Amino acid sequence: MNKLSSMRGAALAAFTLTVVTFAAAAACAQSLSDIKPPAEPLVLLSQGSFFVGGRTVDTEDAGWSNMEDLFGEPFEAGKVTVDQMYVQFQVPEAPSHPPIVFMHGGLLTSKQWETTPDGRMGWYEYFTRQGFPTYLAEQTGRGRSGFNGTIFNQVRRGKLSPDTQPNVYLGTSNMAWKVFRFGPELGKTNDGLQFPVNHVDEVYKQIIPDMIETQVPSLMAELVTPETNNPTVDNIAALAHDLGGAILVGHSQSAGFPTQAVLKNKGGIRGLIQLETGCFQSLTDEQVAALAEIPILVMVGDYLGPNPGASCAEEMDKIKSAGGDITFISLPELGIKGNSHMFMQEKNNLVIADLLVDWVNEHVDRENR
Amino acid sequence: MNKLSSMRGAALAAFTLTVVTFAAAAACAQSLSDIKPPAEPLVLLSQGSFFVGGRTVDTEDAGWSNMEDLFGEPFEAGKVTVDQMYVQFQVPEAPSHPPIVFMHGGLLTSKQWETTPDGRMGWYEYFTRQGFPTYLAEQTGRGRSGFNGTIFNQVRRGKLSPDTQPNVYLGTSNMAWKVFRFGPELGKTNDGLQFPVNHVDEVYKQIIPDMIETQVPSLMAELVTPETNNPTVDNIAALAHDLGGAILVGHSQSAGFPTQAVLKNKGGIRGLIQLETGCFQSLTDEQVAALAEIPILVMVGDYLGPNPGASCAEEMDKIKSAGGDITFISLPELGIKGNSHMFMQEKNNLVIADLLVDWVNEHVDRENR
C-alpha cells in the first residue's frame, strides 16, 4: 500500500455519516415507543453540562438587518463567542475508573453515544454504570457547540463572493450506507451485519450538517496530520487537563483527535482510544516519544478486507520501538463478526464496550495502582 | 398600546439570546471547576434520547465535490433527513407528576435548562427530582436537531443568488445584554439583577447561530400568528400525543409553541406554560375554545415596565370568557424581584421552579384526580 492510498484508506475509514431512507415516514411514535428502560435504576452522584474554551470575535453581519422592526435597533455589529465546546457529563455513585471522554465522528453529535437507533442503552449510560465518570464532548462547529456564522451573512450581502463560503457537508443516505459499511450499496446489507437496519431511519436523523470547513481549511489534511489548529483538539486537551486525568475516545472523523490532543502537551491524558482508525504516517521522533508515554487502543470493525491494521502498522511499530503500549484490535479477528463503522450502536454494542473496559483495566488502571 | 406596538412588544419579549464580553478569555477551568454537585444522588428509572418527526428530501448539493479523493466518488446527490427534533429525557425513580417538555428559546439549545452559567442545578435535573419525567426538546434547525443545509451549497456553487440564502442569526453581546434585560446597555446591570453576571461569558457560550430562516419564511410572523408551519410545533404536538399526555413549556422565541401545538389538534397536551410571553392577539373563537380546555400559565420576569401583562390581556380575556383556566404571573408583582428574561438560570431559579410546580399541583394534577 503506497502512502497516498494508505492515507486515503485511513482518512476514508476515519470519516463518518449515516443516511438512506426506504421508509422515511415520521417515525416518532416508533422511536419513542422503542425505548427500552433498563432493569435497574441509574444512580448518579452528579450530572450536568459546561463549556470548554471559546473565544470572542467581532461581527458586523449578525443577520438582523431585516428585523429592525422587532428590536427597534439593528443589532448587526458586536461580539460573538466561537470555538467553544459543549460537554455533558454524569458521574456514577461510586466511581471506580478514571473519567472517560467520548468524541463523536463527522456529521454526528454526542447523540451518537446515547440511546441506540433501536432504543437500547448506549455507551454513555453503560460506561457510567461501569463506574466511569463519563463525558460527551461535542465538536466545535457542530450541534450545541455552535459555529462561526458571520461568513454566511457576508456572502448573502455580497461582501464576499459565494465561492469563499465554506462547504456545508451533508450526509446522504447512499454515502452513509457505504461509508458506515452497512453494505456495498444502499439497501444491500453486508452478511451478518450487526447494525439494526430496520431502524436505519433513526441513525439518519442523527446526521446533521457538518460545518468543519468553518473551523479548518482542509478536512483531508486534518485527518492525516498530527499537528492541527482544530479548536476541538485544543478543547479536549484542556478538558483532560482540567479533569485531572482522563481517557480520550475518538471515532471516525475524530479518531485522531486524542492523539493530536496529546501533542498539545497539556498533560492529563491517561489513555487514548481510537475507534475506526486515526493513525498517522508521519510522526516525528518527539511525537512518538510523547505517544509512547500513554496506553493506546486502536479498534476497528468488520468488512475492512484482508489487512485492516495496514494503515496503523507504521505508527504502531514506531510507538512499540519507543517502549510504548499500543494495542490493535480487529473485532472479526477476535471472532466478533458483523460490526460496521458504527459498532457503538449495534446489537452487540455492550459486548464491544466490555472489551474497552477490559483494556482500561489492563492498561490504564494498572499504571495507577 | 396599539396593536402593532403590542405585537412588537410581545415579539421582542418573546425573543431570546445572550452575549457580551468583558472577560472573554478561555474560561474552561473556571466553568468546569464551578460545577456544584448536589447533596443527594439522583436516581433515574431511565434516561436517553430519541427523535420526533423528520422527513426525507433530495439533494444534489451535499457539499463533497472537492472530496472525491477521499471517497473515490463524489457523493453529491442523495437523500437527507430534515425537520427531525432531538429529545433527551430522564424519568425519576418514582414519577409523581405528568411528563413535562421544555423547549428552549431563540439562538439557544436545550443546554438552557441544564447546569446554570455559575454551575448550579438547572431545571432539567430539578424537575426530575420533583417527580416529573422531564424532556428537553431541541428546536428543528438548531443544535442536535440539524437543519437543511442544501441551499448554502447551492449559493456557494452559483446555482442560486446570494440574497436567496437564509439569514444566519447571530447573538451579539450587546443584543443579548439588552434583550435578556440584564441592563440598559452592555456592562450596566439592572438594579438587583438575579442573573450571575460574573458568569455572563458562560451564557454567551450557549448562544449559537439561529437557522430558523431555513424553516419558516418570517420569524416575526411566527411569533404573533397562532397558525404555523414550523416543524418544531408539529413535533412537540406529536410528542405530547405519543407520551400519552404532557405539559409543554416554551420560552421566549418558543413561548408560543405550546399554544400553537394545541391548535394542531393531536391531543395529549395537559398544560401549557408560556415563559416570557407568547400570547396571541388574533385568536378565532374555535382557537379560544380549544385553549379553554387546557390549563395555561403565563409567567414573566422583572424590568418590563408598569403593565407587563398588557400584551396578554386580550388572549386572557377571551380564554376566561370561554370558561378557560389561564393564570398570569408577573414575578415582581409576587414580590420576587430582579429576574431577567433568563430566570431559569438565575440565582433564585429553583424558587421560580417551585412556583411552576405549585401551579401544576393546583391546575394540572388536580384535573386528573
Of A3-12, A56-65, A184-193, B280-289, which gets the smallest average pLDDT? A3-12
pLDDT tens readout for residues A212-229: 999 988 877 788 889 999
The minimum CA-CA distance between A310 and chain B, rounded to whole Å, is 17
Instruction: Identify whether A100 is part of a domain.
Output: yes
- Please list every residue in chain B whose beta carbon sits closer than 8 Å to the beta carbon of residue A63: 167-170
Confidence check: pLDDT of A334 > 90: yes
According to the model, what pLDDT value does residue B368 have? 56
A240 — pLDDT class (breaks 50, 70, 90): very high
d(CA B217, CA B166): 9
CB contact under 8 A, B165 and A152: yes
Q: What distance in Å separates residue B73's CA from the closest CA in chain A?
A: 9
- Is a pLDDT exceeding 50 seen at residue A46? yes
Average pLDDT over residues A347-366: 95
Q: Which helix (H) or strand (E) holds B8?
A: helix B3-13
Q: State pLDDT tens for residues A246-281.
A: 999 999 999 999 999 999 999 999 999 999 987 888
Asked if residue A294 belongs to a domain, the reply is yes
Chains A, B: CB pairs < 8 Å: 337
Is residue A153 within 8 angstroms of chain B, CB to CB?
yes
In a domain, A75, yes or no: no
Residue B27: what pLDDT?
36
Give the pLDDT of residue B69: 74
Which residue in chain B has the smallest CA separation from A26? B53
**Whether B93 and A41 lie within 8 Å, measured CB to CB:** yes
Q: How far apart are CA B189 and CA B187, in angstroms?
A: 6
- E strand or H helix at A13, and its extent? helix A3-13
Regarding pTM above 0.80, the answer is: yes
Residue of B nearest to A93 (CA): B41
Confidence of residue A195 (pLDDT cuts 50, 70, 90): very high
Q: Could you read off the pLDDT of A98-128 as tens digits, one per residue?
A: 999 999 999 999 999 999 999 999 999 999 9
Structural domain count, chain A: 1
How many Cβ atoms are within 10 Å of A303's Cβ, its own excluded?
20
Q: How far is B117 from chain A (nearest CA, A)?
A: 8
> Mapping DSSP to helix (H, G, I), strand (E, B) and coil, where does residue B337 land?
coil
More confident residue, A16 or B30: B30
Cell 386580550 belongs to which residue? B314
Please tell me if residue B155 touches chain A, with a CB cutoff of 8 Å. yes
Using a CB-CB cut-off of 8 Å, the residues of chain B touching A45 are 37, 41
Q: Which of A52, A170, A204 to mutate to test the interface with B (most CBs of B within 10 A)?
A: A170
CA B167, A207, A173, A31 torsion-angle sign: negative
- Show the cell assigned to B308: 407587563
- Report yes or no: A52 at the B interface, CB cutoff 8 Å: yes
- For strand A296-300 and strand A269-275, is the pairing parallel, antiparallel, or unpaired? parallel
Distance separating alpha carbons of residues A153 and B344, to the nearest angstrom: 31
**Sign of the alpha-carbon torsion through B232, B139, A143, A212:** positive
> How far is C-alpha B369 from the chain's CA centre?
30
Most A-contacting residue of B4, B61, B81 (CB-CB within 10 A), to test interface: B81
Question: Residues 20 to 49 of B: which have CB under 8 A from any A CB?
Answer: 20-21, 24, 26-29, 31-35, 37-38, 41-49
Q: What is the Cα–Cα distance from A117 to B81, expressed in whole angstroms?
A: 15
Listed in sequence order, the residues at least 6 apart from B239 whose beta carbon sits closer than 8 Å to its beta carbon are A28, A32, B52, B85, B87, B101, B135, B137, B246
| pLDDT tens, N- to C-terminus, chain B (369 residues) | 344 444 454 455 454 322 222 233 333 346 888 889 899 999 999 999 999 999 999 999 999 988 877 788 889 999 999 999 999 999 999 999 999 999 999 999 999 999 999 999 999 999 999 999 999 999 999 999 999 999 999 999 999 999 999 999 999 999 999 999 999 999 999 999 999 999 999 999 999 999 999 998 877 778 888 999 999 999 999 999 999 999 999 999 999 999 999 999 999 999 999 999 878 888 999 999 999 999 999 999 999 999 999 989 999 999 999 999 999 999 999 999 999 999 999 999 999 999 999 999 999 986 554
The pLDDT assigned to B237 comes to 98
Q: Give the Cβ contact number of residue A133 at 10 Å.
A: 21
Residue B102 is part of a domain; what is its CATH number?
A: 3.40.50.1820
Of B110, B98, B103, B83, give the one whose Cα is nearest residue B234: B83
Partner-chain residue, chosen from A81, A208, A242, that has the shortest CB–CB distance to B32? A242
pLDDT at A33: 85
CA angle, A114 as apex, B95 and A291 as ends, to 5°? 140
Q: How far apart are the first and last CA of chain B?
A: 41
pLDDT score at B7: 46
Q: What pLDDT shows up at residue A37?
A: 86
Amino acid identity at A131: G
Cell of A95: 466511581
Reference B91, options B48, B50, B120, B122; nearest CA is B48
Closest CA to B231 of B210, B214, B246: B214
Q: Is residue A76 part of a domain?
A: no
Residue A191 lies in a domain: yes
| Contact (Cβ atoms closer than 8 angstroms) between residue A18 and residue A253 | no
**A32 to chain B, closest Cα gap in Å:** 6
Residue A338 in contact with partner chain B when CB distance is under 8 A: no
- Nearest CB to A70 within list B12, B41, B84: B12
d(CA B190, CA B183): 4
Residues of A in Cβ contact (< 8 Å) with B168: 63, 149, 152-153
Binned at pLDDT 50, 70 and 90, residue A343 comes out as very high
Distance CA A272, CA A248 (A): 5
Q: Do B165 and A156 count as a contact with CB atoms less than 8 A apart? A: yes
Domain boundaries, position B168: 3-368
Contact residues, B window 213-272, toward A, CB-based 8 Å cutoff: 219-220, 235, 238-239, 242-243
Chain B contact for A66 (CB, 8 A cutoff): yes
Q: Quick check: A169 and B28 CB within 8 A? A: no
B366 contacts chain A (CB < 8 A): no
Which of B35, B45, B175 shows the shortest C-beta gap to A78? B175
Torsion angle, alpha carbons of B300, B302, B307, B311, to 10: -30
Mean pLDDT score, A344-352? 98
In contact, A263 and A227? CB cutoff 8 Å: yes
List CB contacts (< 8 A) between B149 and chain A. 168-170, 209
Q: Which helix or strand (DSSP H or E) is residue A359 part of?
A: helix A349-359
| Cβ atoms of A14 and A278 closer than 8 Å | yes
